[in-house]
A and B are shown apart, each in its own frame.
Chain A
Amino acid sequence: MLGLPISYRVWKVWRRNMVTFMRTWKVNFIPPFLEPVLYLLALGLGVGSFISDIQGVSYPRYIAPALISIAVMNAAFFECTYASYVRMYYAKTFDAMIATPLSIEEVIAGELLWGATRGLIYAVLMFPVLLAFGVIDLPSSFLIFPFVILAGLLFAGLGMCFTAISPGIDALNYPSFLLITPMFLFSGTFFPLNLLPPFIQIIALALLPLAHVVIVFRSFTLDMISLSILPSLVWLASATLILFIVSIRLMKRRLIV
Protein backbone atom coordinates (compact mmCIF):
# COMPACT_ATOMS: atom_id res chain seq x y z
CA MET A 1 0.00 0.00 0.00
CA LEU A 2 1.42 3.38 -1.09
CA GLY A 3 4.74 1.62 -1.53
CA LEU A 4 4.81 0.83 2.19
CA PRO A 5 4.85 -2.68 3.70
CA ILE A 6 1.32 -2.40 5.07
CA SER A 7 -1.08 -5.35 5.30
CA TYR A 8 -4.25 -6.36 7.16
CA ARG A 9 -2.05 -6.38 10.28
CA VAL A 10 -2.69 -2.64 10.77
CA TRP A 11 -6.04 -3.69 12.21
CA LYS A 12 -4.28 -5.63 14.96
CA VAL A 13 -2.70 -2.39 16.15
CA TRP A 14 -6.01 -0.58 15.74
CA ARG A 15 -7.77 -3.30 17.71
CA ARG A 16 -5.25 -3.12 20.55
CA ASN A 17 -6.09 0.56 21.01
CA MET A 18 -9.81 -0.04 20.60
CA VAL A 19 -9.73 -2.71 23.32
CA THR A 20 -7.96 -0.45 25.81
CA PHE A 21 -10.24 2.48 24.91
CA MET A 22 -13.36 0.40 25.51
CA ARG A 23 -12.02 -0.79 28.84
CA THR A 24 -12.60 2.76 30.15
CA TRP A 25 -15.50 3.59 27.84
CA LYS A 26 -17.58 5.31 30.53
CA VAL A 27 -15.10 8.10 31.11
CA ASN A 28 -14.21 8.24 27.41
CA PHE A 29 -17.82 8.71 26.35
CA ILE A 30 -18.59 11.66 28.64
CA PRO A 31 -16.72 14.49 26.80
CA PRO A 32 -18.46 14.04 23.43
CA PHE A 33 -21.84 14.34 25.15
CA LEU A 34 -20.85 17.15 27.44
CA GLU A 35 -18.80 19.33 25.10
CA PRO A 36 -21.51 20.24 22.57
CA VAL A 37 -23.96 20.94 25.39
CA LEU A 38 -21.52 23.33 27.08
CA TYR A 39 -20.56 25.08 23.82
CA LEU A 40 -24.14 25.42 22.65
CA LEU A 41 -25.21 26.85 25.99
CA ALA A 42 -22.26 29.24 26.39
CA LEU A 43 -21.71 30.30 22.79
CA GLY A 44 -25.04 29.44 21.17
CA LEU A 45 -27.38 30.83 23.79
CA GLY A 46 -24.99 33.16 25.62
CA VAL A 47 -22.95 34.87 22.92
CA GLY A 48 -25.53 33.96 20.30
CA SER A 49 -28.21 36.10 21.96
CA PHE A 50 -26.30 39.17 20.74
CA ILE A 51 -26.16 37.80 17.19
CA SER A 52 -29.31 37.75 15.10
CA ASP A 53 -27.84 35.52 12.43
CA ILE A 54 -24.74 34.91 10.34
CA GLN A 55 -25.40 34.89 6.60
CA GLY A 56 -29.01 34.03 7.32
CA VAL A 57 -28.16 31.17 9.71
CA SER A 58 -28.89 31.23 13.47
CA TYR A 59 -25.73 31.28 15.60
CA PRO A 60 -26.17 27.84 17.22
CA ARG A 61 -26.74 26.31 13.77
CA TYR A 62 -23.69 28.22 12.47
CA ILE A 63 -21.31 26.82 15.10
CA ALA A 64 -22.74 23.25 15.25
CA PRO A 65 -20.61 21.88 12.36
CA ALA A 66 -17.58 23.66 13.81
CA LEU A 67 -18.14 21.85 17.11
CA ILE A 68 -17.98 18.49 15.33
CA SER A 69 -14.90 19.59 13.34
CA ILE A 70 -13.09 20.74 16.46
CA ALA A 71 -13.97 17.58 18.37
CA VAL A 72 -12.63 15.40 15.54
CA MET A 73 -9.48 17.50 15.35
CA ASN A 74 -8.83 17.32 19.07
CA ALA A 75 -9.62 13.63 19.39
CA ALA A 76 -7.36 12.58 16.51
CA PHE A 77 -4.57 15.10 17.10
CA PHE A 78 -4.20 14.50 20.82
CA GLU A 79 -4.50 10.73 20.44
CA CYS A 80 -1.59 10.68 18.00
CA THR A 81 0.53 13.14 19.95
CA TYR A 82 0.45 12.62 23.72
CA ALA A 83 -1.15 9.17 23.76
CA SER A 84 1.01 7.80 20.94
CA TYR A 85 4.09 9.40 22.48
CA VAL A 86 3.43 7.60 25.75
CA ARG A 87 3.03 4.28 23.93
CA MET A 88 6.14 4.89 21.85
CA TYR A 89 8.51 6.35 24.43
CA TYR A 90 7.41 5.36 27.93
CA ALA A 91 5.60 2.05 27.45
CA LYS A 92 7.79 0.96 24.48
CA THR A 93 4.71 -0.69 23.04
CA PHE A 94 5.89 -0.06 19.49
CA ASP A 95 9.21 -1.78 20.21
CA ALA A 96 7.35 -4.82 21.50
CA MET A 97 5.09 -4.85 18.44
CA ILE A 98 7.86 -4.67 15.86
CA ALA A 99 9.51 -7.71 17.44
CA THR A 100 6.46 -9.61 16.12
CA PRO A 101 5.53 -10.01 12.44
CA LEU A 102 4.18 -6.43 12.47
CA SER A 103 6.22 -3.88 10.54
CA ILE A 104 6.87 -0.39 11.88
CA GLU A 105 4.77 0.98 9.01
CA GLU A 106 1.82 -1.15 10.13
CA VAL A 107 2.21 -0.06 13.74
CA ILE A 108 2.11 3.63 12.80
CA ALA A 109 -0.65 3.20 10.21
CA GLY A 110 -2.67 1.36 12.87
CA GLU A 111 -2.13 4.24 15.26
CA LEU A 112 -3.28 6.72 12.60
CA LEU A 113 -6.40 4.69 11.82
CA TRP A 114 -7.11 4.50 15.52
CA GLY A 115 -6.70 8.29 15.87
CA ALA A 116 -9.20 8.72 13.01
CA THR A 117 -11.54 6.22 14.67
CA ARG A 118 -11.42 8.18 17.88
CA GLY A 119 -12.50 11.25 15.94
CA LEU A 120 -15.32 9.22 14.42
CA ILE A 121 -16.46 7.96 17.83
CA TYR A 122 -16.61 11.55 19.06
CA ALA A 123 -18.60 12.70 16.03
CA VAL A 124 -21.03 9.79 16.33
CA LEU A 125 -21.65 10.51 20.00
CA MET A 126 -22.08 14.26 19.44
CA PHE A 127 -24.50 13.73 16.60
CA PRO A 128 -27.66 12.92 18.64
CA VAL A 129 -26.92 15.78 21.04
CA LEU A 130 -26.76 18.28 18.18
CA LEU A 131 -29.84 16.70 16.68
CA ALA A 132 -31.69 17.09 19.98
CA PHE A 133 -30.81 20.79 19.99
CA GLY A 134 -32.22 21.00 16.48
CA VAL A 135 -29.03 22.59 15.10
CA ILE A 136 -28.20 20.13 12.31
CA ASP A 137 -30.35 19.05 9.35
CA LEU A 138 -31.33 15.55 8.38
CA PRO A 139 -30.61 13.56 6.31
CA SER A 140 -27.85 15.65 4.72
CA SER A 141 -25.87 15.72 8.00
CA PHE A 142 -25.25 11.98 7.74
CA LEU A 143 -22.89 12.82 4.88
CA ILE A 144 -20.33 14.15 7.33
CA PHE A 145 -19.32 10.68 8.57
CA PRO A 146 -17.09 9.54 5.68
CA PHE A 147 -15.45 12.96 5.84
CA VAL A 148 -15.08 12.70 9.59
CA ILE A 149 -12.84 9.69 8.93
CA LEU A 150 -10.88 11.67 6.33
CA ALA A 151 -10.48 14.64 8.68
CA GLY A 152 -9.60 12.33 11.56
CA LEU A 153 -6.88 10.66 9.50
CA LEU A 154 -5.53 14.08 8.54
CA PHE A 155 -5.26 15.35 12.12
CA ALA A 156 -3.88 11.98 13.26
CA GLY A 157 -1.15 12.24 10.62
CA LEU A 158 -0.42 15.84 11.59
CA GLY A 159 -0.11 14.83 15.25
CA MET A 160 2.06 11.82 14.43
CA CYS A 161 4.53 14.07 12.55
CA PHE A 162 5.04 16.09 15.72
CA THR A 163 5.32 12.92 17.80
CA ALA A 164 8.05 11.72 15.44
CA ILE A 165 10.16 14.87 15.80
CA SER A 166 9.53 15.79 19.46
CA PRO A 167 12.61 15.37 21.63
CA GLY A 168 10.38 14.98 24.69
CA ILE A 169 6.71 14.85 25.58
CA ASP A 170 6.77 18.48 26.81
CA ALA A 171 7.78 19.65 23.35
CA LEU A 172 4.36 18.51 22.15
CA ASN A 173 2.92 21.55 23.94
CA TYR A 174 4.29 23.76 21.14
CA PRO A 175 2.10 22.46 18.32
CA SER A 176 -0.80 22.36 20.78
CA PHE A 177 -0.82 26.06 21.48
CA LEU A 178 0.99 27.40 18.42
CA LEU A 179 -1.02 25.47 15.87
CA ILE A 180 -4.13 23.84 17.33
CA THR A 181 -5.35 26.79 19.40
CA PRO A 182 -5.11 29.40 16.59
CA MET A 183 -6.62 26.88 14.19
CA PHE A 184 -9.50 26.33 16.60
CA LEU A 185 -10.25 30.07 16.58
CA PHE A 186 -9.41 31.17 13.01
CA SER A 187 -10.90 28.51 10.78
CA GLY A 188 -14.36 29.98 10.27
CA THR A 189 -15.44 28.12 13.36
CA PHE A 190 -17.19 30.79 15.45
CA PHE A 191 -17.25 33.62 12.93
CA PRO A 192 -16.93 33.77 9.14
CA LEU A 193 -13.41 33.83 7.74
CA ASN A 194 -14.25 36.81 5.51
CA LEU A 195 -14.37 39.09 8.56
CA LEU A 196 -10.60 38.73 8.77
CA PRO A 197 -8.06 40.76 6.75
CA PRO A 198 -7.60 39.20 3.29
CA PHE A 199 -4.04 37.96 3.85
CA ILE A 200 -5.10 36.12 7.01
CA GLN A 201 -7.94 34.55 5.05
CA ILE A 202 -5.46 33.36 2.46
CA ILE A 203 -3.14 31.94 5.12
CA ALA A 204 -6.04 30.20 6.84
CA LEU A 205 -7.28 28.57 3.64
CA ALA A 206 -3.79 27.67 2.50
CA LEU A 207 -2.52 26.20 5.75
CA LEU A 208 -5.30 25.37 8.19
CA PRO A 209 -6.93 22.00 7.59
CA LEU A 210 -9.69 22.83 10.05
CA ALA A 211 -10.88 25.69 7.81
CA HIS A 212 -11.59 23.20 5.02
CA VAL A 213 -13.15 20.66 7.36
CA VAL A 214 -15.53 23.33 8.64
CA ILE A 215 -16.48 24.41 5.09
CA VAL A 216 -17.34 20.80 4.18
CA PHE A 217 -19.16 19.91 7.40
CA ARG A 218 -21.15 23.15 7.41
CA SER A 219 -22.44 22.55 3.90
CA PHE A 220 -23.73 19.16 5.08
CA THR A 221 -25.29 20.12 8.42
CA LEU A 222 -27.04 23.17 6.90
CA ASP A 223 -28.08 21.14 3.85
CA MET A 224 -26.39 23.63 1.53
CA ILE A 225 -24.27 21.27 -0.54
CA SER A 226 -22.68 22.80 -3.62
CA LEU A 227 -19.67 22.41 -5.85
CA SER A 228 -17.97 25.16 -3.85
CA ILE A 229 -16.81 22.52 -1.36
CA LEU A 230 -14.85 20.68 -4.05
CA PRO A 231 -11.57 22.61 -3.62
CA SER A 232 -11.75 21.93 0.11
CA LEU A 233 -12.28 18.21 -0.49
CA VAL A 234 -9.28 18.10 -2.83
CA TRP A 235 -7.19 20.03 -0.30
CA LEU A 236 -8.19 17.65 2.52
CA ALA A 237 -7.60 14.49 0.49
CA SER A 238 -4.16 15.63 -0.66
CA ALA A 239 -3.08 16.79 2.77
CA THR A 240 -4.27 13.55 4.36
CA LEU A 241 -2.34 11.43 1.89
CA ILE A 242 0.83 13.48 2.30
CA LEU A 243 0.65 13.53 6.10
CA PHE A 244 -0.07 9.79 6.21
CA ILE A 245 3.08 8.97 4.27
CA VAL A 246 5.29 11.63 5.85
CA SER A 247 4.30 10.73 9.42
CA ILE A 248 5.07 7.03 8.83
CA ARG A 249 8.42 7.92 7.26
CA LEU A 250 9.34 10.21 10.14
CA MET A 251 8.38 7.64 12.75
CA LYS A 252 10.38 4.98 10.95
CA ARG A 253 13.39 7.27 10.91
CA ARG A 254 13.00 7.83 14.63
CA LEU A 255 12.44 4.21 15.68
CA ILE A 256 14.43 2.11 13.24
CA VAL A 257 18.12 2.77 13.92
Chain B
Amino acid sequence: MEADFRVAHPEKAHAPDHKEPGSESAREMVVEATNLEKRFGTLVAVDGISFRVYEGEAFGFLGPNGAGKTSTMRMIQCVSPRTSGELRVFGMDTQEHPREIKQTMGVVPQENNLDPDFPVREGLIQFARYFDIPHADAVKRADELLSLMALEEKKNTTVEKLSGGMKRRLILARALMNRPRLLILDEPTTGLDPQARHLIWEGLRDLVSQGNTILLTTHYMEEAAHLCDRIVIMDHGKILVEGKPQDLVKRYAGDYIVEADSTQEVQECLKRHDIIFDAYEGRVQIFTQDPKEVTRLLLDECSMGGEVAARPASLEDVFLRLTGRTLRE
Protein backbone atom coordinates (compact mmCIF):
# COMPACT_ATOMS: atom_id res chain seq x y z
CA MET B 1 0.00 0.00 0.00
CA GLU B 2 2.67 2.51 1.03
CA ALA B 3 4.74 1.75 -2.03
CA ASP B 4 1.75 2.18 -4.31
CA PHE B 5 0.88 5.44 -2.68
CA ARG B 6 4.33 6.89 -3.36
CA VAL B 7 4.45 5.68 -6.94
CA ALA B 8 1.08 7.22 -7.52
CA HIS B 9 2.13 10.64 -6.27
CA PRO B 10 5.68 11.29 -7.41
CA GLU B 11 5.24 15.05 -7.58
CA LYS B 12 3.67 15.23 -4.17
CA ALA B 13 6.65 13.69 -2.45
CA HIS B 14 9.03 16.19 -3.99
CA ALA B 15 7.16 19.42 -4.13
CA PRO B 16 5.33 19.87 -0.86
CA ASP B 17 5.49 23.66 -1.09
CA HIS B 18 3.17 23.68 -4.04
CA LYS B 19 0.30 22.63 -1.81
CA GLU B 20 0.30 25.83 0.15
CA PRO B 21 -2.11 28.54 -0.87
CA GLY B 22 -0.39 31.71 -1.94
CA SER B 23 2.56 30.01 -3.51
CA GLU B 24 0.17 28.45 -5.99
CA SER B 25 -0.09 30.07 -9.36
CA ALA B 26 0.22 27.44 -12.06
CA ARG B 27 -2.54 25.10 -10.99
CA GLU B 28 -6.17 25.97 -11.25
CA MET B 29 -8.15 26.70 -8.14
CA VAL B 30 -11.01 24.24 -7.91
CA VAL B 31 -12.77 25.44 -4.78
CA GLU B 32 -12.38 28.86 -3.26
CA ALA B 33 -14.28 29.75 -0.11
CA THR B 34 -14.03 33.15 1.55
CA ASN B 35 -15.71 33.84 4.88
CA LEU B 36 -18.21 31.15 4.03
CA GLU B 37 -21.07 31.02 6.49
CA LYS B 38 -24.11 28.78 6.93
CA ARG B 39 -26.79 29.32 9.54
CA PHE B 40 -29.86 27.23 10.29
CA GLY B 41 -32.01 29.66 12.23
CA THR B 42 -29.86 30.64 15.19
CA LEU B 43 -27.47 27.71 14.80
CA VAL B 44 -24.23 28.64 13.09
CA ALA B 45 -23.19 25.47 11.26
CA VAL B 46 -20.32 27.00 9.29
CA ASP B 47 -18.80 30.08 10.86
CA GLY B 48 -17.00 32.17 8.26
CA ILE B 49 -14.42 29.71 6.96
CA SER B 50 -11.94 30.34 4.15
CA PHE B 51 -10.00 27.72 2.23
CA ARG B 52 -8.76 26.87 -1.22
CA VAL B 53 -8.53 23.56 -3.01
CA TYR B 54 -6.29 23.20 -6.04
CA GLU B 55 -6.54 20.95 -9.04
CA GLY B 56 -5.13 17.46 -8.58
CA GLU B 57 -5.22 17.71 -4.82
CA ALA B 58 -6.81 15.38 -2.27
CA PHE B 59 -8.21 17.70 0.37
CA GLY B 60 -9.73 16.46 3.60
CA PHE B 61 -12.16 17.93 6.11
CA LEU B 62 -11.78 16.43 9.57
CA GLY B 63 -13.83 17.18 12.59
CA PRO B 64 -16.16 15.70 15.18
CA ASN B 65 -19.85 15.24 14.40
CA GLY B 66 -21.56 18.60 14.07
CA ALA B 67 -18.35 20.42 13.18
CA GLY B 68 -19.88 21.76 9.95
CA LYS B 69 -18.20 19.42 7.46
CA THR B 70 -21.33 18.16 5.76
CA SER B 71 -22.87 21.64 5.60
CA THR B 72 -19.72 22.83 3.86
CA MET B 73 -19.83 19.92 1.41
CA ARG B 74 -23.47 20.58 0.61
CA MET B 75 -22.77 24.21 -0.20
CA ILE B 76 -19.94 23.17 -2.52
CA GLN B 77 -22.29 20.69 -4.17
CA CYS B 78 -24.65 23.61 -4.94
CA VAL B 79 -27.54 21.92 -3.10
CA SER B 80 -27.55 24.15 -0.05
CA PRO B 81 -27.50 27.96 -0.32
CA ARG B 82 -24.90 29.78 1.75
CA THR B 83 -25.93 32.39 4.30
CA SER B 84 -23.04 34.71 3.49
CA GLY B 85 -19.51 34.82 2.19
CA GLU B 86 -18.20 33.69 -1.16
CA LEU B 87 -17.95 30.27 -2.69
CA ARG B 88 -16.61 29.48 -6.12
CA VAL B 89 -16.08 26.12 -7.78
CA PHE B 90 -14.03 26.06 -11.00
CA GLY B 91 -14.15 29.84 -10.75
CA MET B 92 -17.96 29.88 -10.88
CA ASP B 93 -20.29 31.09 -8.14
CA THR B 94 -22.18 28.13 -6.67
CA GLN B 95 -25.45 30.00 -6.59
CA GLU B 96 -25.24 31.47 -10.07
CA HIS B 97 -23.93 28.47 -12.02
CA PRO B 98 -25.10 25.36 -10.19
CA ARG B 99 -25.78 23.40 -13.37
CA GLU B 100 -22.36 23.98 -14.92
CA ILE B 101 -20.65 23.11 -11.65
CA LYS B 102 -22.72 20.00 -11.01
CA GLN B 103 -22.09 18.78 -14.55
CA THR B 104 -18.40 18.25 -13.76
CA MET B 105 -18.77 17.12 -10.17
CA GLY B 106 -19.20 13.65 -8.68
CA VAL B 107 -20.76 13.21 -5.25
CA VAL B 108 -20.58 10.36 -2.76
CA PRO B 109 -23.09 11.37 -0.08
CA GLN B 110 -22.90 10.35 3.55
CA GLU B 111 -26.20 8.50 3.33
CA ASN B 112 -26.71 6.00 0.54
CA ASN B 113 -29.21 7.32 -1.96
CA LEU B 114 -28.90 4.71 -4.69
CA ASP B 115 -32.12 4.43 -6.65
CA PRO B 116 -33.78 1.27 -5.25
CA ASP B 117 -36.00 0.86 -8.30
CA PHE B 118 -33.11 -0.01 -10.60
CA PRO B 119 -30.75 -2.97 -10.76
CA VAL B 120 -27.06 -2.09 -10.40
CA ARG B 121 -25.99 -1.59 -14.02
CA GLU B 122 -29.25 -0.03 -15.17
CA GLY B 123 -29.11 2.39 -12.25
CA LEU B 124 -25.75 3.68 -13.43
CA ILE B 125 -27.04 4.12 -16.97
CA GLN B 126 -30.13 5.90 -15.68
CA PHE B 127 -27.96 8.21 -13.58
CA ALA B 128 -25.88 9.07 -16.66
CA ARG B 129 -29.05 10.42 -18.33
CA TYR B 130 -29.21 13.21 -15.77
CA PHE B 131 -25.85 14.39 -17.14
CA ASP B 132 -26.90 14.16 -20.80
CA ILE B 133 -24.33 11.42 -21.37
CA PRO B 134 -25.12 9.62 -24.66
CA HIS B 135 -26.50 6.13 -24.10
CA ALA B 136 -23.64 4.24 -25.79
CA ASP B 137 -21.06 6.11 -23.69
CA ALA B 138 -23.05 5.49 -20.53
CA VAL B 139 -23.19 1.75 -21.17
CA LYS B 140 -19.46 1.60 -21.79
CA ARG B 141 -18.66 3.70 -18.76
CA ALA B 142 -20.99 1.68 -16.52
CA ASP B 143 -19.26 -1.56 -17.52
CA GLU B 144 -15.82 -0.04 -16.98
CA LEU B 145 -16.72 1.19 -13.52
CA LEU B 146 -18.45 -2.01 -12.48
CA SER B 147 -15.30 -3.92 -13.29
CA LEU B 148 -13.13 -1.31 -11.55
CA MET B 149 -15.26 -1.59 -8.39
CA ALA B 150 -15.41 -5.41 -8.59
CA LEU B 151 -19.18 -5.35 -9.03
CA GLU B 152 -19.46 -7.07 -12.42
CA GLU B 153 -21.12 -10.13 -10.97
CA LYS B 154 -23.76 -7.98 -9.32
CA LYS B 155 -24.75 -5.98 -12.37
CA ASN B 156 -28.29 -7.34 -12.51
CA THR B 157 -28.83 -7.44 -8.75
CA THR B 158 -31.24 -5.05 -7.07
CA VAL B 159 -29.59 -2.47 -4.88
CA GLU B 160 -31.21 -3.68 -1.65
CA LYS B 161 -29.54 -7.08 -2.02
CA LEU B 162 -26.04 -5.56 -1.98
CA SER B 163 -23.88 -5.55 1.14
CA GLY B 164 -22.89 -2.25 2.75
CA GLY B 165 -19.48 -2.32 1.12
CA MET B 166 -20.92 -3.08 -2.31
CA LYS B 167 -23.39 -0.22 -1.97
CA ARG B 168 -20.56 2.14 -1.14
CA ARG B 169 -18.55 0.96 -4.13
CA LEU B 170 -21.58 1.32 -6.36
CA ILE B 171 -22.16 4.83 -5.12
CA LEU B 172 -18.53 5.64 -5.92
CA ALA B 173 -18.99 4.13 -9.39
CA ARG B 174 -22.10 6.27 -9.82
CA ALA B 175 -20.21 9.40 -8.79
CA LEU B 176 -17.63 8.66 -11.49
CA MET B 177 -20.11 8.11 -14.33
CA ASN B 178 -19.74 11.69 -15.59
CA ARG B 179 -15.90 11.63 -15.35
CA PRO B 180 -15.96 14.40 -12.74
CA ARG B 181 -13.11 16.86 -12.41
CA LEU B 182 -14.01 17.22 -8.75
CA LEU B 183 -15.10 14.31 -6.60
CA ILE B 184 -16.77 15.07 -3.27
CA LEU B 185 -16.97 12.30 -0.72
CA ASP B 186 -18.81 12.72 2.56
CA GLU B 187 -17.51 10.02 4.90
CA PRO B 188 -16.92 7.55 2.07
CA THR B 189 -15.95 4.55 4.19
CA THR B 190 -18.03 4.93 7.35
CA GLY B 191 -19.35 1.55 8.46
CA LEU B 192 -17.20 -0.50 6.08
CA ASP B 193 -14.97 -3.43 6.93
CA PRO B 194 -11.20 -3.00 6.41
CA GLN B 195 -11.22 -4.88 3.08
CA ALA B 196 -13.92 -2.70 1.58
CA ARG B 197 -12.26 0.41 2.98
CA HIS B 198 -8.92 -0.43 1.40
CA LEU B 199 -10.55 -1.14 -1.94
CA ILE B 200 -12.16 2.30 -1.90
CA TRP B 201 -8.90 3.93 -0.84
CA GLU B 202 -7.08 2.28 -3.70
CA GLY B 203 -9.68 3.54 -6.14
CA LEU B 204 -9.42 7.06 -4.75
CA ARG B 205 -5.62 7.07 -4.88
CA ASP B 206 -5.74 6.04 -8.52
CA LEU B 207 -8.10 8.91 -9.24
CA VAL B 208 -5.82 11.44 -7.60
CA SER B 209 -2.81 10.05 -9.44
CA GLN B 210 -4.72 10.60 -12.67
CA GLY B 211 -4.99 14.27 -11.78
CA ASN B 212 -8.52 14.34 -10.34
CA THR B 213 -9.35 16.61 -7.46
CA ILE B 214 -10.86 15.02 -4.39
CA LEU B 215 -12.59 16.63 -1.47
CA LEU B 216 -13.52 14.37 1.41
CA THR B 217 -14.79 14.47 4.93
CA THR B 218 -13.91 11.77 7.39
CA HIS B 219 -13.42 11.11 11.03
CA TYR B 220 -11.06 8.27 10.36
CA MET B 221 -7.63 9.76 10.96
CA GLU B 222 -6.00 6.88 9.14
CA GLU B 223 -8.10 7.65 6.09
CA ALA B 224 -7.10 11.29 6.12
CA ALA B 225 -3.41 10.48 6.65
CA HIS B 226 -3.52 7.91 3.84
CA LEU B 227 -5.42 9.84 1.23
CA CYS B 228 -5.10 13.54 1.78
CA ASP B 229 -2.39 15.86 0.57
CA ARG B 230 -3.80 18.57 2.75
CA ILE B 231 -6.40 18.67 5.50
CA VAL B 232 -8.28 21.10 7.65
CA ILE B 233 -9.56 20.22 11.09
CA MET B 234 -12.93 21.82 11.81
CA ASP B 235 -14.82 22.22 15.03
CA HIS B 236 -17.89 24.28 15.92
CA GLY B 237 -18.10 25.59 12.36
CA LYS B 238 -14.56 26.95 12.31
CA ILE B 239 -11.32 25.75 10.78
CA LEU B 240 -8.84 25.13 13.58
CA VAL B 241 -5.78 24.20 11.53
CA GLU B 242 -4.82 23.57 7.94
CA GLY B 243 -1.84 21.77 6.48
CA LYS B 244 -0.28 18.54 5.31
CA PRO B 245 -1.12 15.66 7.67
CA GLN B 246 2.50 14.91 8.57
CA ASP B 247 3.26 18.60 9.18
CA LEU B 248 0.28 18.92 11.48
CA VAL B 249 1.37 15.88 13.43
CA LYS B 250 4.83 17.37 13.85
CA ARG B 251 3.53 20.76 14.78
CA TYR B 252 0.75 19.77 17.18
CA ALA B 253 1.77 16.38 18.53
CA GLY B 254 5.53 16.23 18.05
CA ASP B 255 7.34 13.11 16.94
CA TYR B 256 6.53 10.65 19.69
CA ILE B 257 4.08 10.09 22.45
CA VAL B 258 4.91 8.35 25.69
CA GLU B 259 1.96 7.07 27.69
CA ALA B 260 1.94 5.87 31.28
CA ASP B 261 -0.46 5.21 34.13
CA SER B 262 -1.29 8.42 35.87
CA THR B 263 -0.69 8.60 39.59
CA GLN B 264 -0.22 11.55 41.90
CA GLU B 265 3.40 10.54 42.20
CA VAL B 266 4.05 10.42 38.45
CA GLN B 267 2.35 13.76 37.83
CA GLU B 268 4.39 15.46 40.56
CA CYS B 269 7.57 13.88 39.25
CA LEU B 270 6.89 15.11 35.71
CA LYS B 271 6.17 18.61 36.99
CA ARG B 272 9.41 18.53 38.94
CA HIS B 273 11.28 17.81 35.72
CA ASP B 274 9.39 20.51 33.78
CA ILE B 275 7.88 18.00 31.40
CA ILE B 276 4.59 19.04 29.85
CA PHE B 277 1.91 16.35 29.81
CA ASP B 278 -1.80 15.74 29.28
CA ALA B 279 -3.69 13.70 31.85
CA TYR B 280 -6.96 11.92 31.14
CA GLU B 281 -8.73 8.64 31.88
CA GLY B 282 -6.07 7.62 34.38
CA ARG B 283 -3.26 8.06 31.84
CA VAL B 284 -0.60 10.69 31.23
CA GLN B 285 0.54 11.56 27.70
CA ILE B 286 3.85 13.23 27.00
CA PHE B 287 4.55 14.71 23.57
CA THR B 288 8.27 14.48 22.94
CA GLN B 289 11.14 14.32 20.45
CA ASP B 290 13.02 11.90 22.66
CA PRO B 291 10.88 8.98 23.79
CA LYS B 292 13.83 7.05 25.15
CA GLU B 293 14.81 9.77 27.56
CA VAL B 294 11.25 10.30 28.77
CA THR B 295 10.73 6.58 29.23
CA ARG B 296 13.98 6.28 31.20
CA LEU B 297 13.00 9.21 33.33
CA LEU B 298 9.59 7.73 34.10
CA LEU B 299 11.01 4.35 34.98
CA ASP B 300 14.09 5.48 36.88
CA GLU B 301 13.25 8.76 38.51
CA CYS B 302 9.48 8.69 38.87
CA SER B 303 9.54 5.11 40.22
CA MET B 304 6.84 4.02 37.77
CA GLY B 305 5.11 0.85 38.79
CA GLY B 306 2.79 0.40 35.83
CA GLU B 307 3.25 0.21 32.12
CA VAL B 308 5.08 2.75 29.95
CA ALA B 309 4.59 2.81 26.18
CA ALA B 310 6.15 4.96 23.47
CA ARG B 311 4.72 5.32 19.97
CA PRO B 312 4.96 7.68 17.01
CA ALA B 313 2.48 10.56 17.18
CA SER B 314 -0.47 10.33 14.81
CA LEU B 315 -3.11 12.58 13.32
CA GLU B 316 -5.51 11.26 15.93
CA ASP B 317 -3.38 12.85 18.63
CA VAL B 318 -3.56 16.17 16.82
CA PHE B 319 -7.29 15.78 16.39
CA LEU B 320 -7.98 14.97 20.02
CA ARG B 321 -5.65 17.67 21.20
CA LEU B 322 -7.38 20.30 19.11
CA THR B 323 -11.01 19.22 19.46
CA GLY B 324 -10.87 17.84 22.98
CA ARG B 325 -12.05 14.57 24.37
CA THR B 326 -15.62 15.53 25.16
CA LEU B 327 -18.19 13.34 23.47
CA ARG B 328 -20.25 15.16 20.83
CA GLU B 329 -24.00 14.91 20.27
Contacts and interface: CB of A to CB of B under 8 A. Distances in A.
13 contacts: A16-B115, A23-B117, A91-B113, A91-B117, A92-B112, A95-B79, A95-B109, A96-B113, A96-B114, A96-B127, A100-B102, A100-B131, A103-B98
Contacts of B126: 16, 19
A185 interface: no
Interface in B97-147: 98-99, 102-103, 105, 107, 109, 111-118, 126-127, 129-132
Contacts of B131: 100-101
A85 B132 CA distance: 26
Query: Ordered nearest first, which 4 A-B pairs have the shortest CB separation?
Result: A92-B113, A100-B130, A20-B117, A96-B113
Interface residues of B, number: 27
Contacts of B178: 100
Contacts of A256: 79-81
A16 B111 CA distance: 21
B114 A99 contact: no
Given A12-B130, A103-B99, A257-B40, A98 B79 contact: yes
B130 A102 contact: yes
Contact of A101 (B80, B99, B112, B116): B99
A101 B113 contact: no
Contacts of A23: 117
Given A92-B113, A95-B113, A257-B40, A101 B77 contact: no
A54 interface: no
Interface of B is mostly: loop
A97 interface: yes
B132 A101 contact: yes
Contacts of B77: 99
A93 interface: yes
Nearest to A97: B130
Nearest to B74: A257
Contacts of A254: none
A71 B105 CA distance: 42
A101 B127 CA distance: 11
Nearest to B130: A100
B79 A15 contact: no
Contacts of A91: 113, 115-117
B210 to A, nearest CB: 22
Given A20-B117, A101-B130, A256-B80, A92 B111 contact: yes
Contact of A99 (B102, B115, B132): B102
B281 to A, nearest CB: 38
